[in-house]
């Protein structure tokens, strides 16, 4: 694959705020056309990562490349290819929706006002209403309409659904997925809610404690991992280094391993792992490893 | 981008424009009345022997318009209001509301966004303070003729200096907003900085923009001297007196204590204080800035404040370049 076929590539990317690292040593690549979920607990560095991607922040270390160019060049051409919807979808609250559209028109190269108007008409959002007078869900939809009307090649959304009620979440997700299906753009969005990912994403990045702990296409990742259940083991011989997580009940030990499907040892039963369990294991992973390394069990495979 | 700047800041333009308009209307009302005291112009009422009409006019000026000086001293905060209310929200409001993330991810490069905002609002500050200064200059015209333009109630409010003050307040509020990320604290910090710099410039720098002229002469027997002040004339009542004092015949400066001792000695002897000084060869001196230096001083002070403003705006530009937000 050539560089431009990656929508996003980072190399050793890191960001430090005074003495605290918000993101460290992040190297990954997202192919063009993917819908990528960036998952991590609050404070894991998701917003920092996304702001680095869209060029709002400058990296402390390493580099970012978006659609083959550094967002630091900050030219109208580069900016027009990236759409960004920040957390809590900030808008000028005292602008009417029509004024926000006019803003989009006057500040963008290829703003598709008709597209935004049709989208808002379908959602029955009045153009003469001030943004601050709309409901949270409607504000999110207006912000999404503005970002989509830029006709970006990469759309970045920071916790787009965090502040929405369940109905608004669903509507927002439908709107987003409809647009992706129509335009084929690359989407990168952050979330700390796991269940809704499976339906919409095909690529995953897990961020925890300022580091990337898992990244790749979801099908591949799910295929590489499996659950092994066997008799309770307390010895620690993770020789192959493939155990992601071990949980122990009274009689059994359950291991989540990333071994690409080698034959299981006698007495152990293998089963595929669901995306949600996989993500949760990686969200817990580094902390557990730091706190109690001795509970790691021997890999029986 | 131009439309966006106007749409975002038109409320400030309206409010501050209204402020200047109200001040203008008030000054026009009281100013016309004041100007009518001197139908032939205040210039005819200079010198020692005043005509009957002139002394009436000056008496009425003092009685009916004596508040002018206090009012004008209060007005010296107007350039701050104009500049700071444009500057404080410029960056800080975007950071407070999170809208900077929206504004800087449209297709306008961040440095261009900043340049348009700083340029447009800086220009608005300069224009409004310029109008304000023109209004004050017109209003004060008779007082300027009678009292000169170097007093704090004239120099700070006429000519170019208000624009300099306004631009400094604009830059201070913008920079404070970019650092503190909050509009209201930015406004407070800008006010503190504005007052501190104004006091420093007014008290320490302004008297020395150019080497003051110095006159030294023997105290004449009938001079109107008093122990604290020689009451010496520079030849023009429009000049700005910086300081005065006495030196004895050997050239040693007399302290206030010395001159008070001499004053009581003169009283004991029953001679006039000035005659007593004259007898002992005491000289009086005065340091002053001639009235014709007004525009030079205006240019220097405007340059100082716009220079400070440029330095503060450079800080904002630097923060934007580094992409710290």
Top pLDDT among A163 and A239 is at A163
Segment B9-49, tens digit of pLDDT:
999 999 999 999 999 999 999 999 999 999 888 888 887 77
- At residue A301, does pLDDT exceed 50? no
Q: How many CB atoms lie within 10 A of CB A158?
A: 23
Q: Is A199 helix (H, G, I), strand (E, B) or coil?
A: helix
Cα separation, A220 vs A222, in Å, equals 6
**What CA–CA distances, in Å, run from A5 to A38, A51, A238, B195, B274?**
20, 21, 37, 58, 96
Percent of chain A exceeding pLDDT 70 equals 90
CA angle, A282 then A287 then A288, to 5°: 85
Q: Using the beta-carbon criterion (under 8 Å), do A90 and B101 form an inter-chain contact?
A: yes
The residue whose two tokens read 């006039």 is B272
Cα separation, B168 vs B76, in Å, equals 13
Top pLDDT among A255 and B175 is at B175
Segment A157-186, tens digit of pLDDT:
999 988 888 888 888 888 888 888 888 899
- The pLDDT score that the predictor gives to residue B43 is 85
Contact residues for A41 (Cβ-Cβ < 8 A; gap 6+): A192, A208, A283
Lowest mean pLDDT among A272-276, B191-195, B309-313: A272-276
Of A56, A58, A88, the CB nearest to B105: A56
CB-based contact (8 Å) between A87 and chain B?
yes
Q: Mean pLDDT across chain A, nearest whole number? A: 86
Cα separation, A54 vs A64, in Å, equals 9
Cα separation, A141 vs A158, in Å, equals 14
Q: Using the beta-carbon criterion (under 8 Å), do A54 and B111 form an inter-chain contact?
A: no
Token duo for residue A211: 């580091």
Residue B235 — φ and ψ, nearest 5°? 100, -20
Give the pLDDT band of residue A239 (cuts 50, 70, 90). low
Q: Using the beta-carbon criterion (under 8 Å), do B7 and A80 form an inter-chain contact?
A: no
Q: Using the beta-carbon criterion (under 8 Å), do B101 and A75 form an inter-chain contact?
A: no
Residue in chain A closest to B100 (alpha carbons) equals: A90
- The pLDDT score that the predictor gives to residue A155 is 96
Residues in chain B with CB shorter than 8 Å from the CB of A75 are 109
Segment B135-172, tens digit of pLDDT:
999 999 999 999 999 998 999 999 999 999 999 999 99
CB-based contact (8 Å) between A281 and chain B?
no
- The pLDDT score that the predictor gives to residue B42 is 87
Residues in chain A with CB shorter than 8 Å from the CB of B97 are 90, 92-93
Report ipTM for this prediction. Answer: 0.88
CB B308 within 8 A of CB B171: yes
Top pLDDT among A260 and A94 is at A94
- The pLDDT score that the predictor gives to residue A290 is 42
Give the pLDDT band of residue A286 (cuts 50, 70, 90). low
Mean pLDDT of A268-294: 72
Give the pLDDT band of residue A238 (cuts 50, 70, 90). low
Q: Using the beta-carbon criterion (under 8 Å), do B105 and A83 form an inter-chain contact?
A: yes
Residues in chain A with CB shorter than 8 Å from the CB of B111 are 74
- The pLDDT score that the predictor gives to residue A236 is 59
Question: How far does CA A118 lie from the centroid of its chain?
Answer: 28
């Amino acid at each position: 694959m050539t560089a431009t076929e990656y929508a996003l590539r980072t190399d050793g990317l890191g960001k430090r705020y005074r003495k605290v690292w918000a993101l460290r040593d992040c190297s990954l690549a997202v192919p063009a056309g993917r819908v990528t979920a960036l998952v991590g607990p609050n404070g894991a560095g998701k917003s920092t990562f996304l702001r680095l991607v869209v060029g709002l922040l400058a990296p402390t270390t390493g580099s970012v490349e978006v659609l083959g160019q550094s967002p630091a060049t900050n030219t109208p051409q580069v900016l027009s290819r990236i759409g960004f919807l920040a957390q809590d979808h900030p808008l000028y609250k005292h602008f009417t929706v029509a004024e926000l559209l006019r803003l989009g028109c006057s500040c963008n190269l290829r703003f598709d006002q008709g597209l935004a108007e049709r989208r808002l008409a379908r959602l029955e959002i009045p153009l003469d209403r001030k943004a601050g007078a709309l409901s949270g869900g409607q504000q999110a939809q207006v912000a999404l309409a503005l970002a989509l009307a830029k006709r970006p090649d990469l759309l970045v959304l920071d916790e787009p659904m965090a502040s929405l009620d369940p109905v608004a979440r669903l509507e927002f997700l439908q709107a987003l997925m409809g647009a992706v299906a129509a335009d084929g753009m690359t989407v990168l969005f952050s979330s700390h809610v796991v269940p809704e990912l499976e339906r919409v994403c095909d690529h995953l990045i897990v961020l925890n404690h300022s580091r990337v702990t898992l990244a790749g296409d979801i099908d591949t990742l799910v295929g590489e991992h499996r659950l092994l259940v066997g008799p309770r083991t307390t010895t620690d011989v993770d020789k192959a280094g493939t155990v992601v997580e071990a949980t122990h009940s009274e009689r059994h030990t359950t291991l989540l391993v990333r071994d690409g499907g080698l034959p299981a040892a006698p007495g152990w039963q293998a089963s595929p792992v669901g995306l949600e369990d996989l993500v949760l294991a990686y969200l817990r992973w580094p902390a557990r490893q730091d706190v109690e390394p001795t509970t790691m069990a021997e890999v029986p495979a | 981008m131009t439309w966006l700047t106007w749409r975002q800041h038109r409320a400030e333009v309206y409010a501050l424009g209204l402020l200047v308009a109200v001040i203008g209307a008030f000054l026009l009302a009281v100013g016309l009345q004041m100007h009518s005291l001197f139908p032939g112009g205040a210039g005819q009422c200079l010198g020692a022997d005043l005509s009957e009409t002139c002394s009436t006019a000056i008496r009425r000026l003092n009685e009916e318009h004596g508040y002018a000086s206090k009012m004008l001293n209060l007005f010296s905060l107007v350039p701050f209001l104009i500049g700071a209310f444009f500057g404080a929200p410029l960056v800080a409001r975007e950071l407070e509301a999170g809208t900077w993330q929206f504004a800087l991810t449209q297709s306008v490069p961040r440095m261009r966004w900043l340049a348009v905002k700083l340029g447009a609002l800086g220009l608005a500050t300069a224009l409004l303070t310029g109008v304000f200064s023109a209004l004050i200059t017109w209003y004060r015209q008779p007082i300027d003729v009678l009292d000169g333009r170097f007093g704090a109630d004239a120099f700070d409010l006429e000519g170019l200096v208000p624009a300099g003050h306004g631009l400094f307040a604009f830059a201070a509020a913008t920079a404070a907003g970019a650092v503190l990320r909050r509009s209201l604290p930015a406004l407070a910090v800008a006010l503190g900085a504005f007052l501190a710099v104004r006091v420093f410039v007014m008290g320490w720098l302004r008297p020395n923009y150019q080497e003051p002229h110095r006159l030294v002469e023997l105290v004449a027997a009938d001079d109107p001297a008093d122990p604290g002040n020689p009451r010496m004339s520079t030849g023009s009542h429009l000049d700005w007196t910086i300081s005065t004092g006495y030196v004895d015949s050997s050239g040693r400066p007399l302290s206030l204590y010395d001159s008070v001792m001499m004053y009581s000695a003169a009283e004991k002897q029953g001679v006039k204080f000035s005659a007593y000084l004259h007898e002992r060869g005491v000289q009086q001196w005065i340091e002053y800035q001639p009235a014709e230096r007004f525009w030079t001083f205006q240019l220097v002070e405007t340059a100082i404040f716009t220079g400070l403003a440029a330095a503060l705006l450079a800080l904002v530009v630097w923060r934007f370049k580094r992409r710290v937000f």
